[in-house]
Amino acid sequence: MDWFFQQLINGLGLGAIYALIALGYTMVYGVLRFINFAHSDVLMLGAFSAFYIAPKIEKVFGSQSVLACIMVFILAAAACAVIGMTIERLAYRPLRNRPKLTVLITAIGVSLLIENTAQNERVLGSAPQAFPQLITERAIHLGNLVISSKDLLTVLVTLVLLGGMWFIVQKTRIGTAMRAVSFNQQAAALMGVPVDRIISFTFGLGSALAAVAGILYSLNSSIEPLMGVQPGLRAFVAAVLGGIGNLPGAVLGGFLLGLLETFAGGIEGWSNYRDAFAFGILILILLVKPAGLLGRSSVEKV
Amino acid sequence: MKLSKLIFVAAASVGGLFSLSSCKSGGGNSIKVGEFASLTGKEATFGTSSHEGTLLAIEQVNAAGGVLGKKLELLTEDDQTKAGEPANAVNKLISKDGVIAILGEVASSRSLEAAPICQLNKVPMISPASTNPTVTREGDYVFRVCFNDNFQGGALANFASGTLKAKKVAILTDVKSDYSKGLAKSFKEKYATSGGVVGTELDFNGGDKDFKGQLTAIKSDAPDAIFLPGYYNDVALICIQAKQLGMSIPIFGGDGWESESLLEIGKDAMEGHYFSTHCSIEQPTPEMTSFVNSYKKRFSGKSPDAMAVLGYDSAMVLVDAIKRANSTESGALREAIATTKDFAGASGKISLNADRDAVKALVFIQIKGGKFTYSATVNP
C-alpha cells in the first residue's frame, strides 16, 4: 500500500507541473484559438532566466532564503511575460487576419528558432547545467512515505495559480474583456475592447505561468535548451484531455497525465511504454468525450 | 532501425561515388584524419574529452616531425549528441575531405551509425570508447581501443555479487541507448549465472527528468543494489531522486558515468556509488603520467578523464599503424591496425583481437568525498 501512496505523491508532483504548463496553453487557445507551440520554449527561457538571476539575488537576500526564492520566481516570470508579449507582437500579431493554419506553422517556426538559437554555444549552449538550489530541500516523512518539499511546493503553487487565474478571468474587468475576445473578437472590438492589448496581456500571463513551471521543473535537476519539449508536449496533451480552453480542465488533465505516467513508469514491462499508455488513455477519453473531460462549447471558454 | 540503416548506406554509397572523383586531386603534404565527436549537446563532456585527447596526440606527432614525412591534419566534426548527425559528419569527412581514417565516437549508438558508412567506403574507423559489442561487428574496417560490454557486464556482475555482496539487484535501463541496453543484457546474463537474483527491471528514456515512478517501484521491491547502465546526465538525476525518496542502497554503473558533470549535477547524491571505467589517471605507468602531464599543460591545468585518455590512444594506435604499414592506402592500413599488438597506450597495453576489440583491464571507481576515487582493477 505504501507503494501506491508514494506513487500517488510522485504523480501529483509531476502532474502539477504539467498542469501549470497546460494552463498557459489553454489560456492562449481560449483567446486566439491556436496552439502556441513556442510555449514550451518560453518555459525553458524561464528556467534559464532563473539560472542567471538566482546567483545575483542570493548575494543580496542570502542563499536559499524564502525571500530570495520568491524574488527569483517573480523576476523570471516578469522576464518571460516580456518575452511572451514580444513573441506575440513580432510573430503572431502581423498574422492576425490570416488563416489559423498560418499562425500555427509560425508558432512551430518560433519554437524551432528559439531552440536552435539557444543551443548555440555563444547563446545558452547545449550542454546540461546544474540548476541552483533555490530552497532548502526538506523531506516530510509519513511512515514509509516521503513527500519532498519540492513536490509540495509545486502542488501548492499550481493550485494557488489556478485560483488566481480563475479570479482574473471571472472577476476582473480585464478578465471580462478576455472572455469577450474569446467569444467573438470582432464584436468585442466593436464594443470598445482593446483586442490587441487583451491578447498581449493573455500572452504575458501565460508566459509568466510557463516561467514558474520551468523553475519548478528544474529544481533539483539540470537545464538545457531542449528541456521544454517533453513536458510541453505532455502539457499540450493534458490541456486537450481536460478540454482545451477550460482552466480547471487543464489542471485536471495535467494531474491525470502525471499520475498515469508515474504509475505506468513503475510497472515492469510498462515503463518503456508509459507515454504510449498515457496517450492511449487520451485517445480513449477523446473518443467518448471529444471536447475533453470538462470541455463544453459554452461561455466558460477563456 | 533497419530502414534508417539502409538510408545511411544508400547515402554513403552516393557519397562514395563522388569521393572517387574528388579524392584523387588530394595528396599534398598532409595526411588527413577525420574525427567525429559530441562536442556540444547532452553528452558534450564525452566528445570534448575525447577530442582534446585526440588533438593532443596529433599535435605531439606533428611536433615530432609527423609520419611518413608528412604532417597530420585533424578534421573534426561535431555531431551535437544527435542521432542522424554522425552519418552526415562521416559522409562529409569521407567524400568531401577524403580522410584516410575516422576516429570516434564515445557513445555506441552514434558509432553504430557511422560504422557501416566507414565499412562501405573501406575507410578504417577506430572508436575510442564505444563498448557495445555490436559496434565492431559492423565490419572488418571497424576497430576500438577499449574493452567491450561482454567483458564490462561480466566484471560488473562479479562486482555486484563479490564486492557489494548483493543478492538481489534492480536494473534501470535507458531504452534510447544501445550502450545501456547492451550492458544491461550482458550484466543480467552473467549475474544470473553467478547465482544473483535480478529484481525489478525498469526502463527510462534518456533525457527524462522524472524517475520517481521507477524508483518507487524499485524501492518497494527492496533490492540490495541498483544497476544503472546510463549516461552521466540521467544518472545524476536518478541518484538525486533516489536520495530524495530516502533510498540508501548503492547504485552502480559502467563507463557512461565518467564525466565531471556527474558530480556537478549530482553533488552529494552521488556519494558512495560506484562505476567501472577504462582507466584511472592515478595509474602509475610512465605512459599515463606523461599523458596526464602534457594534457594538463596543453589544456590549462584541466585534469583528463578516461574518454580523453582513450581519444589519445585511438589516435596513437592509428599513427602506429600508419608507420608500420608505411602507407595510408586503406587495405594496408586496415591490416596494420588489425595486427596492433602490445602497443603501449596511455590507458595500458593495447592488443586488438580477432573481433577488432582491445583486450584490456577495467577499473572500478567509487565516488568519495565528492571525488572519483580508484577502488579496484579487474584483469581480463
Residue A171's alpha-carbon distances to A158, A177, B90, in angstroms, are: 19, 11, 61
Q: Which of A128, A148, A271 sits opposite B244 (nearest CB)?
A: A148
A64-68, A169-173, A295-299, B375-379: range with highest mean pLDDT: A169-173
Cβ-defined contact of A262 to B213 (cutoff 8 Å): yes
Whether residues B83 and B142 share a domain: the answer is yes
Whether residues B155 and B247 share a domain: the answer is yes
Whether residues B268 and B319 share a domain: the answer is no
pLDDT at B306: 94
pLDDT at B17: 47
> Up-side HSE of residue B314: CA atoms within 13 Å toward CB?
40
Q: Is residue B207 part of a domain?
A: yes
Spacing of C-alpha A65 from chain mean position: 25
pLDDT tier for residue B27 given thresholds of 50, 70 and 90: low
Q: What percent of chain B has pLDDT over 70?
A: 93
pLDDT tier for residue B42 given thresholds of 50, 70 and 90: confident
CA-nearest residue of chain A to B233? A128
pLDDT at A273: 85
pLDDT tier for residue B15 given thresholds of 50, 70 and 90: very low
Enter the C-alpha cell of residue A77: 516570470
Whether residues B143 and B157 share a domain: the answer is no
- Three-state secondary structure call for residue B307: helix
pLDDT in tens, A178-205: 999 998 889 999 999 999 999 999 999 9
Q: How many CB pairs under 8 A join A and B?
A: 103
A150, burial (CB in 10 Å: exposed 0-12, middle 13-18, buried 19+)? buried
Q: Residue A100: in which H helix or E strand, if any?
A: helix A100-119
Enter the C-alpha cell of residue A43: 518555459
Q: Is residue B380 part of a domain?
A: no
Cβ-defined contact of A139 to B81 (cutoff 8 Å): no
Whether residues B19 and B132 share a domain: the answer is yes
Q: Is residue B356 part of a domain?
A: yes
CA-nearest residue of chain A to B247? A146
Q: Is residue B377 part of a domain?
A: no
**B80–A contact, CB cutoff 8 A:** yes
Contact B291, B310 (CB under 8 A): no
Q: Is residue B296 part of a domain?
A: yes
pLDDT in tens, A244-254: 888 999 999 99
Whether residues B64 and B156 share a domain: the answer is no
- Residues of chain A with Cβ-Cβ distance to B44 below 8 Å are 126-127
pLDDT in tens, B61-117: 999 999 999 999 999 999 989 999 999 999 999 999 999 999 999 999 999 999 999
Whether residues B58 and B115 share a domain: the answer is yes
Whether residues B290 and B251 share a domain: the answer is no
Residue B64 CA to residue B54 CA, distance in Å, equals 16
Q: Which of A3, A126, A267 sits opposite B41 (nearest CB)?
A: A126
Q: Is residue B371 part of a domain?
A: no
Q: Is residue B201 part of a domain?
A: yes
**B56–A contact, CB cutoff 8 A:** no
Whether residues B133 and B21 share a domain: the answer is yes
Whether residues B155 and B187 share a domain: the answer is yes
pLDDT at A245: 85
The runs of H, that is alpha helices, within chain B are 2-23, 44-63, 85-91, 108-121, 149-161, 178-193, 212-221, 232-244, 260-266, 286-298, 306-325, 330-338
Contact B29, B70 (CB under 8 A): yes
- Three-state secondary structure call for residue A73: helix
Q: Measured between CA atoms, how close is B334 to chain A, in angstroms?
A: 35
Average pLDDT over every residue of B132-153:
95
pLDDT in tens, A131-177: 998 888 888 888 888 898 889 999 999 999 999 999 999 999 999 99
Omega into B105 within 30° of 0, i.e. cis?
Answer: yes
Enter the C-alpha cell of residue A79: 522576464
pLDDT in tens, A69-116: 999 999 999 999 999 999 999 999 999 888 889 999 999 999 999 999
> Domains in chain B: how many in total?
2
Whether residues B260 and B186 share a domain: the answer is yes
CATH code of B250's domain: 3.40.50.2300
Rounded to 5 degrees, φ, ψ at A192 are: 90, 15
Q: Which of A221, A224, A263 sits opposite B213 (nearest CB)?
A: A263
Residue B327's alpha-carbon distances to B70, B330, B333, B334, in angstroms, are: 11, 8, 7, 11
DSSP string, A223-287: E-TTTTHHHHHHHHHHHHHH-TT-HHHHHHHHHHHHHHHHHHHTSTTTGGGHHHHHHHHHHHHHH
Q: Is residue B106 part of a domain?
A: yes
Chain A interface, best mutation among B39, B51, B180, B210, by max A CB count within 10 A? B210
Its domain, for residue B346, covers 5-147+284-361
Contact B149, B190 (CB under 8 A): no
Residue whose C-alpha is closest to residue A225's, from A24, A28, A16, A46: A46
Whether residues B178 and B312 share a domain: the answer is no
Average pLDDT over every residue of B286-303:
94
Contact B38, B110 (CB under 8 A): yes
Residue whose C-alpha is closest to residue A244's, from A38, A26, A97, A46: A26
Contact A279, A237 (CB under 8 A): yes
Whether the per-residue pLDDT at B48 is higher than 90: the answer is yes
- Residues of chain B with Cβ-Cβ distance to A267 below 8 Å are 217
- Which positions 128-157 of B are in contact with A (Cβ < 8 Å)? none
Average pLDDT over every residue of A8-16:
94
Torsion angle of C-alpha atoms B273, B277, B279, B281, degrees rounded to 10 = -40
CA-nearest residue of chain B to A150? B244
